[in-house]
Structure 1
Amino acid sequence: MIALLLALGSSLAYGCADFLGGLGARKAHVLRTVLIAAPASLAVELLLWPFLGATFSAGAVGWGAASAAAFALLYSTLAMGPMNVLSPVTALVSAALPVGVGLLQGEHLGAAGLVGLPLALVAVVLISAGAGAGSARPTRTALLLALGAGAAIALQLIFLHQAPADSGVAPLIVGRAVSSAVTLAAAGLMYRRLGSERPAYAMSAAAGALDSVANLLFLLASRSGDLTVVAVITALYPAGTVLLARAVLGERVHRGQLIGLATAAVAVSCLALA
């Protein structure tokens, strides 16, 4: 139950972070947004270090560095819009891969889990079915980026799960330090192409901070529960993104998405009994 609650908290934080990050990336070049979000995220993790500890072993450093790939790619995907389609597509891919890895590693589910797991995946699919009549349709490039971002996030979750259990927040610090350095280098190389638009500073920083909170909650959840269950609950984060997109941007929430939200609630209830 503790792992499930932590995973739900991670899902909520990811949904809010992705909404703010994608919205901020629409106001300026994505690298300008990530240049603010990544250091803000790193600052939160450094502040947590004295309280949660950090052991920089070879495993923690290696897996942490490997987890750094998803940050800019996800925000680039969401910036291409429409947000209520691309975020769930990314989430579906990011859920399926960790679930497969967890099952291959020998994790087992009870009867309730065998019902809740596919229901959760169905919920993500239903939430993603937002491009109905009258909706803006994503381009093929945007969909490919969404698939790539989903795979990158899946690898990030898998790598964080593989980090030593006694490493504290070291994997998060290493991962965010690497992503910040890569982002800074990329911005330097592409300086002339970044444009003159100012990023949404507060929005981008908030997205980075929430992303750190989400990563931390996922890390704690995966250390106290199965990757199979934790990953699929975390992947329900588009529910928050979709609802925020509806409230703030006026993007339509279709009947299928509402059914998906209800299915997600049932799935979480089943997984709580697993």
Structure 2
Amino acid sequence: MLALLLALGSSMAYGCADFLGGLGARKAHVLRTVMIAAPASLVVELLLWPVLGASFGPGALGWGAASGVASAAAFALLYKTLAIGPMNVLSPVTALVSAMLPVGVGLFQGEHLGWAGLVGLPLALAAMMLVSAGGGAKSARPSRMAILLAFGAGAAIALQLIFLHQAPSDSGVAPLIVGRAVSSAVTLTAAGLMFRRLGPEKPAYAMSATAGVLDSVANLLFLFAARGGDLAVVAVITALYPAGTVLLARSVLAERISRGQLVGLGAAAVAVSLLAST
């Protein structure tokens, strides 16, 4: 149950972070947004170091660095995807992709599910597909490029979660610190190389920093959830974060929520209840 609650908290934090990051990327080049978000995440994790502890062994360094590279790609691809929009379609697409890969890895590594899990996991995946279906003919339809970016973002998120899960369970927040340091370095290097292409627009500093802080909180909650539960279950619960993004997009941007998406949100709630009983 604790792992489930942590995964739900991670899902909520990811949903809010993605919404703010997507908005920030609409105001300036996506790299300008990530340049602020990634270091802000690193600051949070460094502050947590004395509280939660960290052991920088070879496993934590290696898997943490790998997660950092994936995180940098996920940041840029996801925020660019959500900046193109519509958020209420593209965010669930990334979630579906980001859930399927960790589920496959978890089952391949020998995780076993009871009847509730066998019903809850497919239902959760179906819920994501319903939420990602959009609002029909009257809703804005994403471009082919936006869909490709969404798939790329989902794959990068999945790899980040898988790499974090592979890090030693006794390493504390070391994998997060190493990962965020690497992602910050990759992002700042890319921004330096592309400086002339970033445009004159100033980023939304507060919005971008808040997105980074929330992303850091989401990663932390996922890490502890995965250490206390099955990767297959935790990854699917975490991947329900589009519910938060969709609802925020509806409230702030007035993006339409279709009946199918409402059914998907309800199915997600049922799936969480089933998975809670595993």
TM-score, normalised by the number of residues in structure 2: 0.97
Aligned equivalents of 2:135 and 2:199: distance in 1?
A: 31
Q: 1:48 and 2:18 equivalent?
A: no
Equivalent residue in structure 2 for 1:89, among 87, 93, 109: 93
Aligned equivalents of 1:73 and 1:66: distance in 2?
A: 17
Q: How far does residue 246 in structure 1 lie from its aligned partner after superposition?
A: 0.2
Equivalent residue in structure 2 for 1:185, among 185, 189, 203: 189
Equivalent residue in structure 2 for 1:155, among 159, 163, 169: 159
Q: How far does residue 59 in structure 1 lie from its aligned partner after superposition?
A: 0.6
Give the total of aligned pairs.
274
Map 1:1-274 → 2, pairs under 5 A: 1-68=1-68, 69=70, 70-274=74-278
Q: How many percent of aligned residue pairs carry the same amino acid?
A: 83
Q: How far does residue 71 in structure 1 lie from its aligned partner after superposition?
A: 2.1
List alignment gaps of at least 5 residues for structure 2: none
Q: Could you tell me which amino acid in structure 2 is paired with residue 220 of structure 1?
A: F
C-alpha distance after superposition, 1:119-147 (max 9, x if no partner):
10001000101141121111111111100
Between stretches 241-250 and 125-134, larger displacement belongs to 125-134
**Residue 27 of structure 2 aligns to a residue in which SS?**
coil
Aligned partners of 2:169 and 2:227 also within 8 Å:
yes
Q: How far does residue 74 in structure 1 lie from its aligned partner after superposition?
A: 1.5
Q: Could you tell me which amino acid in structure 2 is paired with residue 105 of structure 1?
A: Q
Aligned equivalents of 1:213 and 1:32: distance in 2?
A: 21
The structure 1 segments of at least 4 consecutive aligned residues displaced by more than 3 Å after TM superposition are: none
Q: Could you tell me which amino acid in structure 1 is paired with residue 184 of structure 2?
A: S
List alignment gaps of at least 5 residues for structure 1: none
RMSD: 0.7
C-alpha distance after superposition, 1:242-269 (max 9, x if no partner):
0000000000000000000100010000
Q: Could you tell me which amino acid in structure 2 is paired with residue 204 of structure 1?
A: S
C-alpha distance after superposition, 1:23-80 (max 9, x if no partner):
1001000010011101100000000000001111111011111112222222122111
**Residue 26 of structure 1 aligns to a residue in which SS?**
helix
TM-score, normalised by the number of residues in structure 1: 0.99
Aligned equivalents of 1:74 and 1:58: distance in 2?
A: 29
Q: Could you tell me which amino acid in structure 1 is paired with residue 102 of structure 2?
A: P
Aligned equivalents of 2:61 and 2:91: distance in 1?
A: 29
Aligned equivalents of 1:242 and 1:102: distance in 2?
A: 28
C-alpha distance after superposition, 1:228-255 (max 9, x if no partner):
1000000000000000000000000000
C-alpha distance after superposition, 1:173-213 (max 9, x if no partner):
11111111111111111111111111111000000000000
Q: Could you tell me which amino acid in structure 1 is paired with residue 6 of structure 2?
A: L
